[in-house]
Amino acid sequence: MKSFLNKRAPYIFIAPTLLLLILFSIVPIAVALVISFTDMDLGGLANMDRVGFIGFDNYAEVIQDPVFHKAIYNTLFYVVIGVPLVILFSLGIALLINLGTSRIFKVFRVVYYLPSVTNIVAVAVVWSYLYNPALGLFNYMLNSVGLPDVPWLTEPTVAKLSLILLALWKAIGLNMIIFIAALQGIPRSYYEAAQLDGANTWQQVTLITVPMLRFAIFFVSITTMIGWLQFFEEPFVMTDGGPLDGTLSVSLFIYQNGFQFNNFGYAAAGSFVLFICIIAVTLVQLRLQKNETDMT
């Protein structure tokens, strides 16, 4: 019996997690796939007899929906600008904090991490105030050094950038912590050897630290990418997709169609388009990573 258990160990390690994931992620997405081929709405939710199969109609319609196009454009905008910034900033801050040797650097760790623990409701209230056109702190600061107002949330492109700024503020902390944990996994002896060879701080960072962090960077870039493709909370609480749909993300589009208009079939179709895009992007990233190393 014991040896049997030992042989089966890997399966036993992964079984509970896998069961839960299948039950609460895989089965629901399969259900959603079925729903995406129907005209399910609130009435259909209450009474299954009212649900009819309509084939690919939802998909055909969502692909032609100009609002959906806008949402895709915005989401790409978020990803292309947001992801590199998150990685750059969180890695930079982690390196700086890790190099520091005085007490104050421990404080920085807490300071930069704080935003990621804050409740989104509170974040929305505070940031709406900072961005406020009339009495916002940001415009007040700009005016005090003689610069004009910025239309933070009232001009579509600027509004996207404003949301990226807010999301950065929220996302840096978590990734910074991951990088710090990874940095601490680098054996001290490497640095000592480099110091004996007369490498300065900058050389130590570029020649030892960054290459050793390859896994961490890969991990953070994949999870960040997936997170930003599902960018939802910030536009949801700050702008609700406005102005002129300028900040609407695909996730928010799905949410609005599903939970505000009760078009579950249509929303499910939209979400599968998103799901497939995310898978494609992730596979490309994994492929790139594979080419770089022999990681399986």
Partner 1 sequence: MSSITAGKRKGSQEGKSGRTFQWISGIILTIGGLFFLLPFFWMMMSSFKPENEIVQIPPTLWPETFTLYNFQYLFENMNFGIYLRNTLIIVAFSFVGLLLNAAAGFGFAKYDFKGRNALFVLVLATMMIPSQVTMIPVYLILNTLGLTNTMTGIVLPGLVGAFGIFLFRQFMSTVPTELLEATRLDGASEYRIFLQIVLPISKPILAVQAILTFIAGWNSFLWPLIIANDEGLYTLSVGLSLLKGQYAANFGLQMAGATFMVAPVILLFTYFQKHIIENFSISGMK
Partner 2 sequence: MNKLMRGVLDMKKVLAMITTLALSASLLAGCGTNDNTEGSSGDASNEKVTLSVWGMGEEAKTLPKIAEQFTAENPNIEIKVQALPWDQGHEKLLTAIASKKGPDVVQMGTSWIPEFADAGALADLAPYVEQYPELKQEHFYDGAVEAGTYEDKYVSVPWYVETRVLYYRTDLLKEAGYDQAPQNWEELSDAAQKLAARGDGKYGMSIDPKEQSLGFMFARQNGAEWFTPDGQPDFANDKFVEAVEYINSFYQNGSAPKDLGLDIIPAFKEGILPMFISGPWMIKLIQDQAADIDGKWSMAVLPKKENNTSLLGGSNLSIFEYSKNKDAAAKFVAYMSKAETQLKWMEFTSSLPAATAAWEDESLKNNEFYKVIGEQLNAAVPMPVITAWSQISQSYVKHFEVIYRNNVDVKKELEALNAEAVKFMK
Q: List, in order, residues 6 or more apart from 42 with CB less than 8 Å away.
A: 262
Kindly state the tokens that stand for 286. Answer: 């994994």
**How many whole angstroms from its chain centre is CA 70?**
19
- Which stretch, 50-58, 62-70, 120-128, 144-152, contacts partner 1 (CB under 8 A)? 120-128
Q: Which of 67, 81, 85, 130 binds partner 1 (CB under 8 A)?
A: 130
# of chain residues touching partner 1 (CB under 8 A): 101
Binding partner of residue 46 among partner 2, partner 1, none, CB cut-off 5 to 8 Å per kind? partner 2
Window 223-262: residues binding partner 1 (CB under 8 A): 223, 226, 229-230, 232, 250-251, 254-255, 258-259
In whole angstroms, the minimum distance from the beta carbon of 157 to partner 1 comes to 22
User: Which x/- pattern, by CB under 8 A, does the window 5-34 give for partner 2?
Assistant: -----------------xx--xx--x----
Binding partner of residue 63 among partner 1, partner 2, none, CB cut-off 5 to 8 Å per kind? none
122 binds partner 2 (CB under 8 A): no
- Which stretch, 45-53, 168-176, 203-211, 278-286, contacts partner 2 (CB under 8 A)? 45-53
∠ CA 72-128-74 to the nearest 5 degrees?
Answer: 10
Residue 115 vs 243, nearer CB to partner 2: 243
The DSSP-derived string for 217-283 is HHHHHHHHHHHHHT--HHHHHHTTT-STTTT--HHHHHHIIIIIS--HHHHHHHHHHHHHHHHHHHH
Prior bond of 243 cis (ω within 30°): yes
SS3 38: strand
In whole angstroms, the minimum distance from the beta carbon of 173 to partner 1 comes to 8
# of chain residues touching partner 2 (CB under 8 A): 26
CA dihedral in degrees (121, 164, 142, 124; nearest 10)? -10
Distances (CA, A) of 44 to 40, 52, 253, 267: 5, 9, 21, 14
CA Rg value for the chain: 24
Q: List, in order, residues 6 or more apart from 295 with CB less than 8 Å away.
A: 289
Closest CA to 271 of 34, 91, 3, 9: 34
Binding partner of residue 43 among partner 1, partner 2, none, CB cut-off 5 to 8 Å per kind? partner 2
Binding partner of residue 261 among partner 1, partner 2, none, CB cut-off 5 to 8 Å per kind? partner 2
Q: Which of 20, 88, 147, 193 binds partner 1 (CB under 8 A)?
A: 20
User: Which x/- pattern, by CB under 8 A, does the window 87-106 give for partner 1?
Assistant: ------x--xxxxxxxxxxx
137-144 and 120-131 helices, crossing angle to 10°:
30
Window 233-272: residues binding partner 2 (CB under 8 A): 242-245, 259-262
Could you list the residues that contact partner 2 (CB under 8 A)?
22-23, 26-27, 30, 41-43, 45-47, 132-136, 151, 154, 242-245, 259-262
